[in-house]
């Protein structure tokens, strides 16, 4: 059983489209995150949710909207995709807000053409 699973693994789409990435964790964790990894491997946090409540919302364009229907799921919807959105997006979870043990998904490679 995969602890943190993301779908899809690869996503190729045209500029201007709207797409979603889904994330689910079966660890019983309270907190989930989205991180963006750019072409130089730099990782930056985008959002965090704790028990479905938005906690961290870094400087991310409004085109990115996270949604957490329950504490086991955190989806990322992206409107009007741009070339610069091409990256690998990682979902992660931790026991709670102060938890040190993050578990990462295997990533979604988004390519905007």
Partner 1 sequence: GNSVTQMEGPVTLSEEAFLTINCTYTATGYPSLFWYVQYPGEGLQLLLKATKADDKGSNKGFEATYRKETTSFHLEKGSVQVSDSAVYFCALKSGGADGLTFGKGTHLIIQP
**DSSP secondary structure, 43-92, as one string:** EEEEEEEETTEEEEE-S--TTEEEEEEETTEEEEEE-S--GGG-EEEEEE
**DSSP secondary structure, 92-103, as one string:** EEESSTT----E
**Candidates 20-28, 36-44, 66-74, 79-87 — which segment interacts with partner 1 by CB under 8 A?**
36-44
**Candidates 21-29, 48-56, 61-69, 75-83 — which segment interacts with partner 1 by CB under 8 A?**
48-56
Binders of partner 1 in range 63-102 (CB under 8 A) = 90, 92, 97-98, 100-102
Instruction: Kindly tell me which of 50 and 75 has the beta carbon lying closer to partner 1.
Output: 50
**Candidates 22-30, 43-51, 65-73, 76-84 — which segment interacts with partner 1 by CB under 8 A?**
43-51
Question: Angle at Cα 58 formed by Cα 93 and Cα 36, nearest 5°?
Answer: 55
> Across-strand partners of 34?
47, 91
Distance of CA 102 to the CA centre of its chain: 14
Which of 1, 39, 41, 59 contacts partner 1 by CB under 8 A? 41
Q: Which residues bind partner 1 (CB under 8 A)?
A: 4, 33, 35, 40-45, 48, 50, 55-56, 90, 92, 97-98, 100-102, 104-107
């Amino acid at each position: 059983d995969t602890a943190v699973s993301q779908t899809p693994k690869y996503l190729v789409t045209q500029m201007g489209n709207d797409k979603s990435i889904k994330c689910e964790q079966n660890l019983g964790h309270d907190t989930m995150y989205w991180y963006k990894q750019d072409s130089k491997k730099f990782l930056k946090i985008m959002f965090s949710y704790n028990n479905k409540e938005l906690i961290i919302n870094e400087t991310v364009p409004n085109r990115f909207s996270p949604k957490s229907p329950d504490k086991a799921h955190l989806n990322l919807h992206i409107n009007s995709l741009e070339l610069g959105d091409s990256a690998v997006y990682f979902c992660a979870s931790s026991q709670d807000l102060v938890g040190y043990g993050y578990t990462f998904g295997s990533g979604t490679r988004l390519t905007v053409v």
